[in-house]
Amino acid sequence: MDRESSTFGLGSDRLAQLFGIGGDEPPAQSSASESDKKAELLHDILAEAVPLFDSIQDKPDDFKQTIDALSGESVGKLLLDPETNIALIRKIKDYARRLSGRAESQARRYVSNTIYYGAIANALVFHEVLITKFSKAELAESFQKLTNQQWIPEYLGCLFEEGLRRCQKT
């Protein structure tokens, strides 16, 4: 008795892909779509206003910080503004660290870390303050990697480039 093929002429690679549908892991995406996803996530978070308080105990220490926080400015605008209060920059850094810690995907983790390093770069470039335990050599390496990412907008890339220059001066 001659059995008919039940694979309909599909190769083993195509069959593996089909069997993977509905499995625990999503099918692999191209790096272009991953970059697009990261760019979109980054754009969304940079456009958000900074959360004012995480708890009742988390209150600003001075009037200037309160005015900055209440202004409703976006994370992106605050990161690029040399006049942003350093306490608010620290708040953005801490916010990004928390986002990274609870990220549901690798793309979200990359984006959260990008904002984290953006806050560090702001403090270093505009306030000449190091708000991290990372050494300048470690920061230079991170800033260098971030400047080479195609999904990071040019304006943020420029902040990382200047942060890199500041780290290399020492």
* Structure-block tokens of residue 155: 């304006």
Per-residue model confidence as pLDDT tens digits over 125-151: 999 999 999 999 999 999 999 999 999
Q: Which neighbouring-strand residues pair with 74?
A: 49
CB 142 within 8 A of CB 121: no
Distance from CA of residue 134 to its chain's centroid?
A: 17
Q: Between the CA atoms of 115, 118, 122 and 124, what dihedral angle is there, to the nearest 10 degrees? A: 130
Q: Tens digits of per-residue pLDDT, 59-71?
A: 445 545 555 455 5
| Whole-number Å distance between alpha carbons of 156 and 142 | 14
Q: Is the pLDDT of residue 4 over 60?
A: no
Q: What is the pLDDT of residue 10?
A: 56
Cα 82 to Cα 90: distance, rounded to the nearest angstrom: 14
What average pLDDT does range 118-128 have in this prediction? 97
- Predicted confidence (pLDDT) at residue 164 exceeds the cutoff of 90: yes
